[in-house]
């Protein structure tokens, strides 16, 4: 396995995690960078077949979480981030990554629920208002992509 997709996935995954945990948003430059890096890398490495598998990974990565977005259970940045990582991983490895993403997301949700149940609320807290009900999902998406890359290498 070439180190380029791994380095890109690590860098962009960390950037997505930081912004999602801090601001509950994933800036558009992150999924766009993953998409372009994935399409370009797979085109160079595998020709038109590699490009097609990368584009298929992006399309399926977008489609897999789109229903959750439409139902209000996930943000649009998370859907775009999954599409970007889908392009970076390619179609064959996307499905394994999605399973890892769901597992990591379930663990994160359990931790957040536990944290909210057993941590006292502080009234009158100041600072930037974040959606307290939102669970940042970029860490689960990044972890799923990283696990799929790690298992593949």
Which residues are CB-contacts of 148 (< 8 A; sequence separation ≥ 6)?
89, 93, 94, 96, 97, 100
Mean pLDDT of 86-103: 94
Surface-to-core class of residue 120, CB atoms within 10 Å of its CB (0-12 exposed, 13-18 middle, 19+ buried): exposed
Distance CA 19, CA 15 (A): 6
Q: Could you give the CA distance from residue 121 to residue 105 in angstroms, rounded to a whole number?
A: 24
Burial of 89 (0-12, 13-18, 19+ CB in 10 A): buried
Categorize the per-residue pLDDT at 122 as very low, low, confident or very high, splitting at 50, 70 and 90. low
Domain ranges, residue 82? 3-152
- Note the pLDDT tens digit of each residue in 39-79: 999 999 999 999 999 999 999 999 999 999 999 989 999 99
d(CA 18, CA 148): 21
* Residue partners of 130: CB distance under 8 A and separation at least 6: 23, 24
Q: How many domains does the chain have?
A: 1
């Amino acid at each position: 396995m070439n180190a380029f997709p791994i380095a890109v996935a690590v860098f962009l995954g960390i950037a997505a995690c930081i912004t999602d945990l801090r601001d509950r948003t994933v800036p558009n430059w992150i999924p766009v960078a993953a998409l372009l890096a994935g399409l370009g890398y797979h085109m160079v490495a595998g020709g038109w077949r590699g490009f097609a598998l990368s584009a298929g990974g992006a399309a399926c990565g977008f489609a897999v979480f789109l229903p959750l977005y439409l139902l209000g259970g996930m943000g649009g940045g998370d859907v775009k981030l999954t599409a970007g990582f889908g392009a970076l991983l390619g179609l064959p490895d996307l499905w394994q990554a999605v399973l890892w993403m769901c597992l990591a997301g379930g663990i994160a949700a359990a931790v957040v629920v536990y944290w909210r149940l057993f941590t006292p609320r502080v009234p009158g807290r100041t600072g930037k208002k974040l959606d307290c009900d939102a669970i940042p999902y970029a860490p689960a998406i990044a972890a799923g992509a990283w696990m799929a890359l790690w298992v593949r290498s």
